[in-house]
Amino acid sequence: MTVPTTPAPTLANQATTSSAVSTAPLPAVARHLNCDHPDMSQLRSQSTTPLQAPGSHHAGIVSAEPALTESVSTESARAEPAPVKRRLSVLAAAGSGTRLGRHMPKALVEVGGAPMVLRALRGLDAAGITHIAVTAPTDALVDFEQLIGSALPDLSATVRVVAGGASRQASVAAGLRSLEQFRPDARTPVLIHDAARCLTPPALIDRVARAIENGANAVIPTLPVTDTIKPLASGTHIDEGDDALSPLDPSIDRSRLRAVQTPQGFTWDVICRAHEYGASRAADESSAATDDAGLVEALGLTVMSIAGDMMAFKVTTELDIALAQACLDHGYAPDA
């Protein structure tokens, strides 16, 4: 295996910036995930679980390692080998699925006879993602390893299973740390994806990756919202089934609102900086960012959008399971 050894450049002049963050000295990529920031220290204690794949020659890597260099044709035999395009991904699958209420990790729940995590993994693989870190609940690591190990013969990507964290944000940070071994450079695309969006079309994943490859720094798929959205007045809340009266603030102009999906695409440098900057929020879900684009926004960088896809909806409740099953039954999503 030949891993490009391009020194990790800094992020000078990347992205539209609007805060002091953009003028601060920008650390080298390698430091982002090895840094001594106190909030990253907890990630270092989380395990990265190596799997043994049949025929694998790379400890900890659970599929045939895609070549990182290509041989050249006879006409250009003296030319430097062209680097193969790398596309990295963190597949967030370490959630407990509280709202689904199945008393098992949501990513292991089957839709159309296949666990959601496998459907999502196959979607990333089909879209040309070359290196994937799957986050798994700490107490279900063995189950995830076995399941994903059994799927390897059909996958091209290199896959690692890593222990997730207390929040989705912490899980993604753990996944990013494990991807560092593939020595991405500053502009290598990294797609952060939810296993719960298990029917996401590979075409959407590919479009997000291409947007990064074509020069964007942070790109997310979004859809128009179909409901009118009104904010609760500050400090108020409505519990499920609650008939107590709660005041609302005026509606937000619906035409400007977009519902956000995954995969969310970033350059390696931008996503690492965002997670480092927001690391103190990751301890639990109440303070954590609900998506990675939110962390990038906190850096003062502009996040761009492309059109999302209705099939990238997130499975959260039993109603969503029924919807996913119906989509498969009616051919809206290809079976995997």
Which positions touch ligand CTP (CB under 6 A)? 92-99, 106-107, 135, 164-165, 167-168, 171, 194-196, 314, 316
Closest approach of ligand CTP to the CB of residue 197, in Å: 7
Report in angstroms how near the CB of residue 192 gets to ligand CTP at its nearest.
9
φ, ψ for residue 216, nearest 5 deg: -75, 160
Residue 90 CA: distances (Å) to CA of 43, 104, 190, 192, 268: 15, 21, 8, 5, 12
Question: Is 56 or 167 the residue whose CB approaches Mg ion more closely?
Answer: 167
Provide the minimum distance between the beta carbon of 178 and ligand CTP in the complex, in angstroms, as a whole number: 13
User: Which of Mg ion, ligand CTP, none has residue 271 at its interface (CB below 5 to 8 Å by kind)?
Assistant: none
122 binds, among Mg ion, ligand CTP, none (CB under 5 to 8 A by kind): none
Between residue 251 and residue 310, which ones bind Mg ion under the rule CB under 5 A? none
For 276, the token pair is 């480092």
Judge whether 21 and 11 are in contact, CB under 8 Å: no
Residue 144 CB, shortest distance to ligand CTP, in Å, is 11
106-144 in b/e form (b: 16+ CB < 10 A) is bbbbebbeebbbbbbbbbbbbbbbbbbbbbbbeebbebb
- How large is the angle between the packed helices 116-126 and 202-213, nearest 10 degrees? 50
Instruction: Please tell me the distance from the alpha carbon of residue 122 to that of residue 130, in angstroms, as a whole number.
Output: 12
- Shortest distance (Å) from residue 123 CB to ligand CTP: 13
Q: Which of 36, 60, 40 has its CA nearest to residue 48? A: 60
Residues 44-103 that bind Mg ion (CB under 5 A): 95
> For residues 194 and 276, which CB has a smaller minimum distance to ligand CTP in the complex?
194
Q: Which does 309 bind (CB under 5 to 8 A by kind): Mg ion, ligand CTP, none?
A: none
- Nearest in space to 118 (alpha carbons), one of 96, 151, 95, 89: 151
> At closest approach, how far in Å is the CB of 211 from ligand CTP?
22
| Shortest separation between residue 94's beta carbon and ligand CTP, angstroms | 3
Which one, 3 or 327, has the nearer CB to ligand CTP? 327
201 binds, among Mg ion, ligand CTP, none (CB under 5 to 8 A by kind): none
Tell me whether residue 85 or residue 99 sits nearer to Mg ion (CB atom): 99
- Residue whose beta carbon is closest to ligand CTP: 95
Distances from the Cα of 102 to the Cαs of 199, 230, 318, in angstroms? 20, 31, 9
Shorter beta-carbon distance to ligand CTP: residue 28 or 259: 259
Closest CB to Mg ion among residues 62, 170:
170
How do 131-136 and 88-92 pair as beta strands? parallel
Residue 236: how many CB atoms within 10 A of its CB? Answer: 13
Residue type, 84: V
Q: Which is nearer to ligand CTP, 186 or 221 (CB)?
A: 221
What backbone torsions phi and psi does residue 315 show, to the nearest 5 degrees?
-80, 115
The least CB distance from residue 296 to ligand CTP, in Å, is: 17
Choose among Mg ion, ligand CTP, none what residue 32 binds, the Cβ cut-off being 5 to 8 Å by kind: none
160 phi and psi angles, rounded to 5 deg? -125, 145
Count of residues interacting with Mg ion (CB under 5 A): 1
Residue 331's Cβ-count burial label (10 Å; 0-12, 13-18, 19+) is: exposed
Given the complex with Mg ion, which of 95 and 265 has the nearer CB atom? 95
Residues contributing to the site for Mg ion (CB under 5 A): 95
